[in-house]
Amino acid sequence: MLLDAVVDYAIYMLDTEGYISSWNAGAETIKGYPISEALGLHFSQFFTPEDQAAGKPLIGLGIAERTGRYEEEGWRVRKDGSRFWAFTVLDAIRDKEGNLLGFAKVTRDISERHAAEQALLDSEWRFRMLVDAVSDYAIFMLDTKGCITNWNKGAERIKGYKAHEVLGRHFSMFYTAEEQEADKPQKGLAMALSKGRYESEGIRVRKDGSTFWANVTIQPIRDEENRILGFAKVTRDISEQRKARQALEDAREELHQSQKMEALGHLTGGVAHDFNNFLTAIIGNLEVLKSNTGLDEHGRRQIAAALQAAEDGGAVVRQMMVFARRQAMRLVTVDVNKTVEEIAGLVRRSAHENIVLDLDLHDGVMAVKTDPIQLQTSVLNLALNACDAMPDGGVLTIKTEHCELEGDSRVKPGSYICISVTDTGDGMPEEVLAHAFDPFFTTKELGKGTGLGLSMVYGAAQQIGGDVSIASRVGEGTTVKLILPAGVVEDVEPQAKKSPLPKTPAGTRAPKKAKEQHRPPNASKGSARASQGENQGEGDALNILYVEDDFLVGLATIEILEKDGMTVQNAAGAEEALQLLDKHSEIDLLLTDIGLPGMSGHELVAEARRSAPACACSS
C-alpha cells in the first residue's frame, strides 16, 4: 500500500534474471505501462536500443550482484517510445544465508533537472567559446593565490605564451622586475578583495621580453556563500591608444604654446614700438644737448652716459622687435655651413679652453633664404648659451642637416635646413624648459643676461617661416634646433657680398644698422651729396621731407636735421607726405618711419619713387 502510494518514483522488483515481479503506481506513471503489461517483462525493455546493444542492463545487474548496489543516470524509454532522463538505483536482495533472491529497482524521472543542467553546461560552453574567441583582450582566471588556471586566445596573442606555458604559474610573471620587487601583483589582488574591483594602467612584459602599455582589471570570484574562489583578470593592450592620447596632449600643448607665444609677440611688439619711439626722442634730444659747445666736461660725461644707457635700451628693444617679428629683414640666400664656420671661429676665440667645439656639417651647400645678420646672431646666441651652460667644460656640437618635415601647427610641410646646437651641460628641468622662449625669462645671475636671447632666435625663425625646438635632460645637456626653410642652392649670395659678423653677442649693445638709401640716376646734386654723407655747404642746404607720426620723435629728429643746416618739411602720415611731394619739387630726400598709420613707410617709398623719381628715399 505504501509503495503504491508513491507516484514520483518507479519502484519494482526483478528476479535474478532481471524480469519484473512487482510494479507500483509510480512505475506505471513514469514508464507508461500498466501492471498487467509490466509483470514478466525484462527490465531491459526500458533501455534505449543503443544501451541494449551495449549490454548495459546485464552489466548493471552484474555490478549490483557483486557490490550490492548500482547507480547511474541515462536515457530511458516509455511505452509510447518517448524518452526521459532517469536516475536509477539497483540493489541486490539476499536471504539470511546470502543467496541472491532478486533486485530492487528504483527509477526517478529527472528530465527537468537534467535539461537545466544541460542548459547551464551549454551556456558555460558558449561562454568559454566566446571568451576564447576574444583576441583583443587577455582574459584568464587566477586561483586564490594568483596562479593562472585558464587562458584564452587573446591572452596568447597579447602575452605571447601558449596555455601550457602559463597554467599553474603566478601572474606576476607579466610584471616588470621593478613592480615585482614592489609587490605590485599581490597588492592588486588585495585591493580587488577589499574594494571588489581593481583597475590600473602600467607596463607589462611579453614572452619575448618586449613591453607594452596595458589596462588591467582584476575582480574577485565568489560562490553563493561569498567564499572566494579566485579572480577574473582582463588585460588590454592600450599602447596605440596611449600614443594617440599622448599625441593629442602634445598637440594641445603645442597649440597652447603657439598661442601663448603669439600673444607675447603682440604684447612685446607693441611695447617695443612705443619704447623705441621714446628712446628715439630721448637720444635725439641728448644729441642736441651734446652738440652744445657751452657744456663743461662733467656735463658732457653725463650726457654721454645717458646716451650709452639709451642705446643699450635700444639694443634690447631691437631684440624685442625680432621676437615680435617686427624687425625689418634683408632676405638673401646664404650658405648655412659657411655662416656656422665663421661663428665657430668667434666661439673658439671667446670660449673657455676646457670647452671642445665639434662641427658636424652636412656635405655641400646648405642654402637658406634669411637675413644673414639675424642668422649669425641667432647661431652665436645659441653657441654662447651652450658655453654658459658648461662652466666646468664640456663638448659644444654644432650640426647642420637637411630635414624633410611633414608639417604641423608651426611649420608647413617641406624641406628645411636644421642647425642643432648641443651642449653637455647640466640641462634644464621641465619647469625651466616650459619658459625657455618667454621674453625676459632667464636663469642667469642679475646683469648676466636680458632673457631675450632665445626669444630673439625664436622670433627670427618664425618670421621667415621656420621654427625652434629645444630638448633637455637634467644632468645630460641641452639641444636647441634651429629649423629654417631650405633655399635654392644656385641663389646663394657670394661670400664677398656677405654682411659682417656681429661683433657683440645678443643681450649687449650692438652697433646701429645704417638706414638703407636709394638714389636714382637723375637725383639732384644735393641729394647725391646727402646719400654719400658729405657736409653741405652754405647756400646748398639739403631739402628734406621727414615723415613721422610720433610727435616727440619728430620734434627731436627735425631739430637735429635743422641744426646740421638742412631744410626740413614734416608730415604726420603718408597721404600728407605725398601731397607735399606733389607741391614741392625742390624736395631732395624723403626720410620716413616704417610704422605709419594707414600706408606703411615701405609703401610710401614705393609710391614716392613713382610720383617723384628725382627725390631720394630712405625708410
**Domain encompassing residue 155:** 134-237
- Domain-embedded: residue 507: no
Please give the C-alpha separations between residue 48 and each of 38, 41, 76, 172, in angstroms, as whole numbers.
17, 15, 6, 53
Let me know whether 580 and 484 are in one domain. Answer: no
Measured CA to CA, the distance from residue 106 to residue 352 in angstroms comes to: 106
Helix, strand and coil in the chain, % to nearest 5: 45, 25, 30
pLDDT digits over 14-24, tens only?
Answer: 999 999 999 99
The CATH number for 530's domain is 3.40.50.2300
Q: Are both 467 and 604 inside the same structural domain?
A: no
- Mean pLDDT, range 178-182, rounded to an integer: 93
What was the pLDDT predicted at 570? 86
Residue 516: its pLDDT value, please? 31
- 199-208, 526-535, 548-557: range with lowest mean pLDDT: 526-535
Whether 46 is covered by a domain: the verdict is yes
Q: If 0-12 CB within 10 Å is exposed, 13-18 middle and 19+ buried, where does residue 321 land?
A: buried
- CATH number for the domain spanning 191: value is 3.30.450.20
394-405 vs 355-360, strand pairing mode: parallel
Is the same domain home to 359 and 466? yes
Do the domain assignments include residue 120?
A: no
Task: Work out the pLDDT band at 496, boundaries 50, 70, 90.
Answer: very low
φ, ψ of residue 208 in degrees (nearest 5): -80, 5
- At 8, the pLDDT band (50, 70, 90 cuts) reads confident
Which is higher by pLDDT, 293 or 139?
139
The reply to whether 434 falls in a domain is: yes
In this prediction, residue 486 carries a pLDDT of 86
How would residue 528 be classed by pLDDT, with cut points 50, 70 and 90?
very low
Enumerate residues 6+ apart whose C-beta is below 8 A from 206.
158, 159, 160, 212
Residue 178, judged by CB atoms within 10 A of its CB (0-12, 13-18, 19+), counts as: exposed
pLDDT at 412 over 70: yes
- Return the axis-axis angle of helices 239-290 and 551-563, rounded to nearest 10°: 40
- Mark which of 205, 237, 269 sits at the end of a domain: 237
**Number of separate domains in the chain:** 5
Q: What is the pLDDT of residues 344-374, one digit of tens each?
A: 887 877 677 788 989 998 887 678 888 887 7
Contact assessment for residue 322 and residue 339, using Cβ atoms and an 8 Å cutoff: no
The string of pLDDT tens digits covering residues 87-114 is 999 999 999 999 999 999 999 999 888 8
The contacts of residue 541 (CB under 8 Å, 6+ apart) are 526, 565, 566, 567
DSSP string, 516-577: PEE--TT--HHHHHHHTTPPPPTT---EEEEE-S-HHHHHHHHHHHHHTT-EEEEESSHHHH
The verdict on residue 122 lying in a domain is no
Question: What phi and psi values does residue 457 have, to the nearest 5 degrees?
Answer: -60, -45
- Convert 234-254 to b/e letters by CB count within 10 Å (16 or more is b): bbbbbeeeeeeeeeeeeeeee
The answer to whether 524 and 614 have CB atoms below 8 angstroms apart is yes
Residues 6+ away with beta carbon under 8 Å from 480: 382, 385, 386, 420, 421, 422, 454, 457, 468, 469, 470
Q: In what order do the strands lie in the sheet with 83-94?
A: 9-14, 100-109, 83-94, 69-77
532 located within any domain: yes
Question: Does residue 287 share a domain with residue 378?
Answer: no
- Give every CB contact of residue 504 below 8 A, 6+ residues apart in sequence: 510, 511
485 is a domain residue = yes
Averaged pLDDT, 547-554: 76
pLDDT digits (tens, 9 = 90+) for 263-320: 555 555 556 666 677 777 787 778 777 777 677 877 778 788 888 877 777 666 665 5
Residue that the C-alpha cell 638703407 belongs to: 516
Q: What is the pLDDT of residue 329?
A: 59
Q: Same domain, yes or no, for 478 and 528? A: no
Here the CATH number for the domain that contains residue 482 is 3.30.565.10
Q: Are residues 536 and 594 in the same domain?
A: yes
pLDDT band for position 494 (cuts 50, 70, 90): low
The alpha helices in 232-296, defined as continuous H runs, are: 239-290
- 509 inside domain: no
pLDDT over 70 (residue 554): yes
* Model confidence band, residue 327 (pLDDT cutoffs 50, 70, 90): low
Helices within 391-440 (DSSP H only)? 430-433
pLDDT at 93: 94
- Is residue 254 domain-shared with residue 377, that is, in the same domain? no
Say yes or no to pLDDT of 153 above 90.
no
Same domain, 260 and 343: no
343 in the same domain as 487: yes
Task: State the pLDDT at residue 219.
Answer: 92
pLDDT digits (tens, 9 = 90+) for 48-81: 999 999 999 999 999 999 999 999 999 999 999 9
Q: Are 141 and 214 members of one domain?
A: yes
Last residue within a domain, chosen from 174, 203, 237: 237
Are residue 432 and residue 398 in the same domain, yes or no?
yes
Question: Average pLDDT, stretch 382-399?
Answer: 88
Whether residue 333 is predicted with pLDDT greater than 90 in this model: the reply is: no
What's the CA gap between 339 and 207, in Å, rounded? 52
Query: Model confidence at 127, in pLDDT bands (50, 70, 90)?
Result: low
Domain-ending residue, one of 237, 256, 286: 237
When the pLDDT of each residue in the chain is averaged and rounded to a whole number, the result is: 79
Q: In sequence order, what DSSP letters do the residues of 505-516 get, joined into one string?
A: -TTS--PPPPPP
DSSP 214-233: EEEEEEEEE-TT--EEEEEE
- Are 477 and 592 in the same domain? no
Quick check: helix, strand or coil at residue 333?
strand
State the maximum Cα–Cα separation within the chain, in Å, rounded to a whole number. Answer: 163
Distance between the two ends of the chain, CA-based, in angstroms? 130
Identify which has the larger pLDDT, 583 or 3. 583
Question: What torsion do the CA atoms of 81, 82, 83, 87 make, to the nearest 10 degrees?
Answer: -90
Q: Which 8-state DSSP code applies to residue 488?
A: -
